[in-house]
Amino acid sequence: MIGDTIFALSSGRPPAAVAIIRISGPAAHDAGLRLAASLPDARSVAVRELRHPASGELLDEALLLRFDAPASSTGEDVVELHCHGGRAVVEAVLGGLRSLGLREAEPGEFTRRAFENGRIDLTEAEGLADLIEAETESQRKAALALAEGGLRAKVAEWQAQLLALSAEAEQAIDYDEDGEAPEPHLQRDCAALADQLQEWLRRPRMERLRAGVRVVIAGPPNVGKSSLLNILSGEERAIVTDVAGTTRDHIELPLALAGVPILLVDTAGLRDTEDTVEAIGVERAAKLVDTADVLLWLGEPHQVPGHPCALLVHAKCDLEERGPAPAGSLPLSAKTGEGISELLARVEEIARTLLPSDDHVALNARQATHIGDAADALARAASASQLVLLAEDLRRARSAFDALTGRAGIEDVLDAIFSRFCLGK
């Protein structure tokens, strides 16, 4: 609840070299004084002895930082204690703060306070959540662009254009007594702004970057699918035998390929079978082929399913009886390693075309929905027959931007977004 003072360990779990304990709220500075006897100047750091507020017992010697509202990460008074990272030290300092009647923060509460106090908007908060969860270089870059206000700055630009259009429309309405049609230039400007939004909506989305590009290995039984999964993963993740139908269900393996997130999927061999369990696996494999972003087909080229990103793989090329690779197929051997590097390079090349580029801010589904609503409203405004209808559509576009940045109509999504944060963030 905004108004009380919260605290939490904001670094990793001890033991560690240093533990950072953050305090935020109206009583943050008083709490710091009760522990350290004196505070440094705002946005300065000092070494202080930390003592228990009740007993005066020495708890630790720590670095103390002070930030004054509103120029802090949360927009409130903030004190940070950089203590030694042993478990006993951390628990002793946290116990001292509890004795002052402060409340331990809930997950994401510091960031939520930053949002509530206008230090960040909802798009930046989502970027911070993505940054915490980032596991690959591509995910890190995309999350950082969002967290540092890349989308917020663009939305502010769009809002300024929209406000100017609305002001012009409202001014024209004041002099419009007969319900006249809007001026053509006003409609052209609405259409131009709608086109800008549509260009952003056509870009690759954040969801694929989070989940990874789905690379599905498929083909008939005993063509080397599981062996390929194992060599790409660097470990024995799938059982490999000469018995057809060994793989009964799919195996999913997240990988980072030169910083690109990949979800590698091994599937059951595609064939007709009377085995009930295997038949279920075959049915699932067929569905996975349909959902693949990239399909690695290890069967005969003429049997490849229709897919826009299919790579033909001539597996087990080290076996004499396999013969030369058909035209357009990549010879590959999980046993000798032949073709593995080329296959990975081809997959990476395709995957990068499906993911947001490093110089573009990637939208998530929620953001795209609100930008789409604004684009639709602007498109209607561009073809409105009357000024009042155009002005109403511009109002709806403004409301969509308010929902995007978190300034209106988003109470139902706040808990879901901030629950993704760890304790102390």
* Cross-strand bridge partners of residue 312: 297
Lowest mean pLDDT among 167-171, 245-249, 320-324, 369-373: 245-249
User: What's the pLDDT at 177?
Assistant: 57
Per-residue pLDDT band for 8 (boundaries 50, 70, 90) equals very high
The Cα 199–Cα 176 span in angstroms is: 34
pLDDT digits (tens, 9 = 90+) for 281-294: 788 888 889 999 99
User: What's the pLDDT at 55?
Assistant: 94
Residue-wise burial string across 318-346, b where 16 or more C-beta atoms lie within 10 A, e elsewhere: eeeeeeebeeebbbbbbeeeebbeebeeb
pLDDT digits (tens, 9 = 90+) for 168-206: 888 888 776 566 778 899 999 999 999 999 999 999 989
The Cα 220–Cα 230 span in angstroms is: 18
> What is the pairing mode between strands 294-297 and 260-266?
unpaired
At 65, phi and psi to the nearest 5?
A: -120, 145
Supply 337's token pair: 């390693």
| 114 pLDDT above the threshold of 90 | yes
User: What's the pLDDT at 419?
Assistant: 74
User: What's the pLDDT at 58?
Assistant: 97
Residue 61 CB neighbour total at 10 angstroms: 12
| Cβ–Cβ under 8 Å, residues 226 and 246 | yes
| 248 pLDDT above the threshold of 50 | no
Per-residue pLDDT band for 360 (boundaries 50, 70, 90) equals confident
**pTM for this entry:** 0.77
| Cβ–Cβ under 8 Å, residues 328 and 312 | yes
| 147 pLDDT above the threshold of 50 | yes
The string of DSSP codes covering 7-58 is EEE-SPSSSEEEEEEEEESTTHHHHHHHHHSS-PPTTEEEEEEEE-TTT--E
| Higher pLDDT pick, 246 / 3 | 3
The Cα 285–Cα 218 span in angstroms is: 7
Mean pLDDT over residues 301-305, rounded?
A: 88
The Cα 150–Cα 310 span in angstroms is: 34
At 83, phi and psi to the nearest 5?
A: -100, 170
E strands within 103-250? 103-104, 213-218
The Cα 97–Cα 104 span in angstroms is: 9
pLDDT digits (tens, 9 = 90+) for 116-140: 999 999 999 999 988 888 888 888 9
Residue with tokens 């997130």: 261
| 237 pLDDT above the threshold of 70 | no
Per-residue pLDDT band for 232 (boundaries 50, 70, 90) equals confident
Per-residue pLDDT band for 6 (boundaries 50, 70, 90) equals very high
The string of DSSP codes covering 302-319 is GGPPP-TTEEEEE--TTS
| 245 pLDDT above the threshold of 70 | no
The Cα 196–Cα 199 span in angstroms is: 5
User: What's the pLDDT at 272?
Assistant: 74
The Cα 245–Cα 229 span in angstroms is: 16
| 21 pLDDT above the threshold of 50 | yes
pLDDT digits (tens, 9 = 90+) for 323-356: 898 988 999 998 888 999 999 999 999 999 999 8
Lowest mean pLDDT among 213-222, 266-275, 378-387: 266-275
Supply 245's token pair: 């139908």
User: What's the pLDDT at 99?
Assistant: 95
Which structural domains are found in the chain, ordered by start? 6-105 (3.30.1360.120), 122-205+362-418 (1.20.120.430), 209-354 (3.40.50.300)
